[in-house]
Amino acid sequence: MDKWVLYGKTGNPASDIAKAWLKNNGIPSTNYSIFQITKEEIVQLADLLPDGAKDLVYPTTFSFSLINPQKKTELEYIEKIHNGEFAEEEIRNLLTTYPALIISPIITNGQTVLIGYDIEKLVSTFRFVKVKDITTA
């Protein structure tokens, strides 16, 4: 059985739905707050993604603001990241300092990374994953 980890934000509907989906489908996972993610975990995730750490960042300031309306400091970094103004190592350091920049949920087993809530990706990824018995007596 694979060990799955979900990084999410409490109160983020996509994170809450993904967490419930995993539970309802018997997929064992450990849940962590995106705000407690370590630099090593960011590096591991970024190494699995085609565009590295850039793929972990909200695509627009608008999408970031919808989930993080109170966060203003981080807004300036989003466009700069996507415009290529930062090197990979700089992006990884920014994500360590400002984890709110990271899209959530992130679901991973160390080999596969799912970013955001996408039901089709969840179904296709977990189609052949051995799940724990969820039947009740």
Distance CA 114, CA 4 (A): 11
What pLDDT digit, counting tens, does each position of 75-133 carry?
Answer: 999 999 999 999 999 999 999 999 999 999 999 999 999 999 999 999 998 887 665 55
Q: What's the average model confidence in pLDDT over 9-36?
A: 92
Within a domain: residue 99? yes
| Residue range of the domain that includes 70 | 4-126
Within a domain: residue 137? no
Within a domain: residue 134? no
Q: What's the average model confidence in pLDDT over 52-58?
A: 96
Q: Report how many domains make up the chain.
A: 1
Distance CA 107, CA 4 (A): 7
Q: pTM of the full predicted structure?
A: 0.86
Please report, for the domain that includes residue 110, its CATH number. Answer: 3.40.30.10
Please tell me the predicted confidence (pLDDT) of residue 134: 52
Question: CA angle, 29 as apex, 25 and 121 as ends, to 5°?
Answer: 55
Within a domain: residue 132? no
Question: CA angle, 116 as apex, 111 and 121 as ends, to 5°?
Answer: 60
Within a domain: residue 73? yes
- How many Cα atoms sit within 13 Å of 46 on the Cβ side? 23
Q: Please report, for residues 11, 18, 67, 91, the alpha-carbon distance to residue 94 in angstroms, rounded to integers and kept in the order given.
A: 23, 25, 18, 5
Please tell me the predicted confidence (pLDDT) of residue 130: 60
Within a domain: residue 131? no
What pLDDT digit, counting tens, does each position of 95-106 carry?
Answer: 999 999 999 999
Within a domain: residue 68? yes
Share of the chain above pLDDT 90, in %: 77
| pLDDT of residue 24 exceeding 80 | yes
Q: Classify the phi-psi angles of 121: left when phi > 0, otherwise alpha if psi is within -120 to 50, otherwise beta.
A: alpha
CB atoms within 10 A of CB 40: 9
Within a domain: residue 115? yes
